[in-house]
Amino acid sequence: MKFEIHTAIGHGPALPPAPLDTHEAAREFTATLAHLLQVEPVRVIHDEYRAAEYVWTNVTVSLPAVGEAVFSVDSRKTAREAVRLYLDNKTVPFVWTDSESAGQAFARAVADAARERDARAARQG
């Protein structure tokens, strides 16, 4: 599937490396979401905010009929503690092990959350 990632990066002083490669994770996150949910992303935005002591990264993927999937990374924390995952502004729990890349793990968690949300809505509807 084709998608373009729009990147906005503020510049500041040199910083210690991020807990994960957010550019690679963004590509994997987007591609895996598109594959798992069989939907082409409408928009992908990769924002980085750089301050003197840290980098805050947000990757937002807008998916038709699914919603907005976001992962955020705070470089002040260690890898697994640094990441927050959301679907339509609701926190999504996830498990990230060494056997799977970060982007794939985040996408699987969001896809599972979307399916659970849709199943719950169907039961209530």
Task: Assess contact for 123 and 102: CB atoms under 8 A.
Answer: no
Tokens 């609701």 identify what position? Answer: 90
User: Taking 60 as the threshold, does the pLDDT of residue 105 lie above it?
Assistant: yes
User: Taking 80 as the threshold, does the pLDDT of residue 55 lie above it?
Assistant: yes
Task: Assess contact for 69 and 45: CB atoms under 8 A.
Answer: no
Residue 3: phi and psi, rounded to 5, are: -155, 155
Q: What is the pLDDT of residues 28-53, one digit of tens each?
A: 999 999 999 999 999 999 898 888 78
Task: Assess contact for 18 and 55: CB atoms under 8 A.
Answer: yes
- Closest alpha carbon to 106 in 119, 93, 117, 118: 93
- Per-residue tokens: 104: 């794939």
- Single-letter residue type at 108: R
pLDDT tier, 10 (very low <50, low <70, confident <90, very high otherwise): low
Task: Identify the weakest region by mean pLDDT among 15-19, 53-57, 84-88, 117-121.
Answer: 15-19
DSSP 8-state secondary structure symbol assigned to residue 102: H
DSSP 8-state secondary structure symbol assigned to residue 11: -
User: Taking 70 as the threshold, does the pLDDT of residue 9 lie above it?
Assistant: no
User: Taking 60 as the threshold, does the pLDDT of residue 7 lie above it?
Assistant: no
| pLDDT at position 124 | 92
- Single-letter residue type at 91: T
CA pair distance 120, 125, nearest whole angstrom: 9
- Averaged pLDDT, 56-84: 90
